[in-house]
Structure 1
């Protein structure tokens, strides 16, 4: 059985430095390049003495990193910028209820269903229970492209199970003489568990704005899941908004509790085969090959979390989201440089 299902991993969007564009500090004015390097009248200027070479606390602060772009303008306005690059290790535990869309099947009586047989949609085969549980680990790299815009990419592994219930009405599937009024065929309820072991990749962006004591962020991420040996047709999209206070504790530590809302859209496909022994009155087995399109049942969820900034380099985050059919816990640790 092949299960192409990431089950919510696009939601693994951490918040690199909530103060990324918003912590006000003493305004820093960039040095005039003509004055700093010498202007047209430099040859007529007085020769510098030793005292002129001594550093001064009144000298304007300069930004020497390539990224983010527009950093100097942000510094002029009094904003403190985080270190531009980050590496994060992310773990997640997720449970998701799903609904089925189109269901296509091929049947066989006695012998196994040939893999070349055409799958068709039939009204007498349906699903009754779709639920997935997964855990995942991802490694994420991010960069502040602009003072308020962070872009990120991550790769990782997701493992878990998916419970699926299939209902087959054999009387409609096999009319007389196979299933008759005197010898009816039973309605089959087939429960099985599929195993998930996928590689996932995510691309996304995060926009942040705030001040000394608050922040707001909006994120957008797109995830692709790849099975062993095959590329899946999964496309998941996640968008979220988060906001909360920034509470400074001591000299370097800042706690940022937050809440928000998340929209997650998942569309995927599950393929597999089933076999039921002695399904017919004559003792023959039933074989079934199927393909079903799935999507998450509830797309909106409320979320709450906590981001802790230990210093300019180390961060930790935990986030929990929930709706009436799913819940998810995400934790991460990040290092910036």
Structure 2
């Protein structure tokens, strides 16, 4: 009786739900593509490529380190509301070196919407620093140098957040693959009032090598390519920074220089005191100079000028926008992949390494 009831139940289920499969059924039937993405995943399965598709959803965590040489193409300066652009600008500051270094974590979530098209969103949290060297130089109308200060450098550290979207196209044939990638991102940093747009274009070509003939999920895919990166939509940025952040030793240098001058005057006064009557005029002059120096030092230190906010306008461009890229993807299994990449050019260096986890969401009825 129980056997007859069981057979009847199976028959009713077959009649009422003829297209319903269990997850176990789908896994045992190699003609069924079980996941909601990519679109046309079933077509790829029908053509025998289903086992070559990655799991459709992924999450990446990457460490990124970059060094970039830049040039200042426009610059303006105001201190305490006074515009100094007429005398302090790109030409007079004479920037000799400008570079930036950033490092931090990049997070990316992606999905294969078509077998050859991946879309993703990215978010980065980085720290970095900007090194600037300059030798202020002023010339007259004929171009003759009338004043040139010694070359000096300053470094400013910053934190930045970046977020963006991108897409990857990929084509494969007999183990070879070609991929192109484009993404655009925006960066927020406390140093700049406006966001900075960034465009990245890249193309890579490589080959897949299986590491275990009995396990086609384990393979390494080395590649090489080129990457283009540049600012987009930027007409320059306004920013505000304290003077002691740009020149952290300026107050100590000022105080040390004044103290050294006062000490030198005191030493000369001590020598002149061997004949105070004859040297009375010089002694009085040096004593008055020391009093003035002490007054200047006190007023300048108490004025807060060394922590004054500097308002500036700056436009930067990359010296070089293209790098050559070399890297690899090491797939451990369908879920885990390790990636490393290095990019190099005369004025840029780029290093990235990270870990990727992939998973699938099954179609309704295959849960």
Aligned CA distance change for structure 1 residues 123 and 99 (closer, same or farther; 3 Å): closer
Aligned-pair CA distance for 1:270: 7.0
Unaligned 5+ runs, structure 2: 1-14, 20-24, 258-291, 360-367
Aligned-pair CA distance for 1:228: 4.1
Equivalents in 2 of 1:145, 1:56: separation in Å? Answer: 21
RMSD: 3.5
**1:30 equivalent in structure 2:** none
The answer (yes or no) to whether the contact 2:160–2:190 under 8 Å persists in 1 is: yes
Matched, 1:317 2:339: yes
Equivalents in 2 of 1:153, 1:56: separation in Å? Answer: 31
**2:42 equivalent in structure 1:** 72
1:295-310 aligned at under 5 Å gives the runs: 295-310=317-332
Instruction: Please state whether the residue corresponding to 2:151 is helix, strand or coil.
Output: strand
Structure 1 or 2: more strand by fraction: 1
The answer (yes or no) to whether the contact 1:105–1:119 under 8 Å persists in 2 is: yes
Of 80, 92, 97, which aligns to 1:114?
Answer: 80
Does 1 or 2 have the higher relative contact order (CA < 8 Å, sep 6+)?
1
Of 66, 70, 75, which aligns to 1:94?
Answer: 66
The answer (yes or no) to whether the contact 2:193–2:237 under 8 Å persists in 1 is: no
The answer (yes or no) to whether the contact 1:270–1:294 under 8 Å persists in 2 is: no
**1:263 equivalent in structure 2:** 228
Equivalents in 2 of 1:190, 1:172: separation in Å? Answer: 23
Equivalents in 2 of 1:61, 1:257: separation in Å? Answer: 31
Aligned-pair CA distance for 1:227: 1.8
Aligned CA distance change for structure 1 residues 306 and 58 (closer, same or farther; 3 Å): closer
The answer (yes or no) to whether the contact 1:124–1:172 under 8 Å persists in 2 is: no
Structure 1 or 2: more helix by fraction: 2
Aligned-pair CA distance for 1:101: 1.1
**2:185 equivalent in structure 1:** 223
Unaligned 5+ runs, structure 1: 1-34, 40-54, 107-112, 174-180
The answer (yes or no) to whether the contact 1:170–1:188 under 8 Å persists in 2 is: no
TM-score (norm 2): 0.65
TM-score (norm 1): 0.70
Name the stretch that deviates more: 125-134 or 91-100: 125-134
Map Cα deviations across residues 6-51 of structure 1 (whole Å, 9 max, x no partner). Answer: xxxxxxxxxxxxxxxxxxxxxxxxxxxxx99769xxxxxxxxxxxx
Q: Could you say which structure has the larger radius of gyration?
A: 2
Of 196, 201, 205, which aligns to 2:158?
Answer: 196
Equivalents in 1 of 2:47, 2:226: separation in Å? Answer: 31
Instruction: Please state whether the residue corresponding to 2:45 is helix, strand or coil.
Output: helix
Instruction: Please state whether the residue corresponding to 2:42 is helix, strand or coil.
Output: helix
